[in-house]
Amino acid sequence: MTQYSKRMVIVHWLTLALLIAAWFLGEELAEATDESKATLAGYIVHIAAGATILLLTVTRLLFRSKDGTPPPIGQTAMDKVAKGIHHFLYTVLFVLPVSGMITVVTSDAGALLAGDATLLPKEEGYEHVFAHEVHEVLVNVLIVLVVIHVLGAIKHQFIAKDGLMERMMLRRKD
């Protein structure tokens, strides 16, 4: 079975690790903001994770265009749905960090630029900030997409037993 390039595999798993970290950081940041205890460091680390995810997503798309992708396993309706979900994942992985950046620029979180933690958003500080609402919705959409993606991988690994998951592993089968 044809596999993805090693660099695409590394970017895939690194993106997943950063998504998990960014999600936990975002949850902690939201809780700290609601308690008026958010810190500059908390924002900076969350923003850095999001920016890195955006960079990795763009990099992965460049690698896809240069390295190519393995051929699809089939042409069934489910295969077409899976392809659509992958496209939707890429879209959300691009738009989600951008919505976070827009949130910073259009809200009190812009205080990050001043470096003054006392100016950071307090309880309900993102109320009526459209970009933040979009950001929160996209996080939930991303979680649903990742769950569907993982369920598809589990189906291929344990039900279809077609070796599809080996395409995204670093160890190569000869």
Beta strand segments in the chain, E: none
Tens digit of pLDDT for each residue in 16-49?
999 999 999 999 999 998 888 989 999 999 999 9
Separation CA 8–CA 87 (nearest Å): 16
* Residue 15: predicted pLDDT: 98
Tens digit of pLDDT for each residue in 67-117?
999 988 889 999 999 999 999 999 999 999 999 999 988 888 877 878 888
- In percent, the amount of the chain with pLDDT more than 90 equals 73
Q: With a cut of 70, say whether residue 124 has pLDDT above it.
A: yes
Q: With a cut of 60, say whether residue 174 has pLDDT above it.
A: no
Which one-letter amino acid corresponds to residue 87? H
* Residue 59: predicted pLDDT: 98
Q: With a cut of 80, say whether residue 153 has pLDDT above it.
A: yes
Domain map of the chain by residue range? 6-168
Angle at 93 between CA 91 and CA 98, to 5 degrees: 95
* Residue 116: predicted pLDDT: 82
Separation CA 135–CA 131 (nearest Å): 6
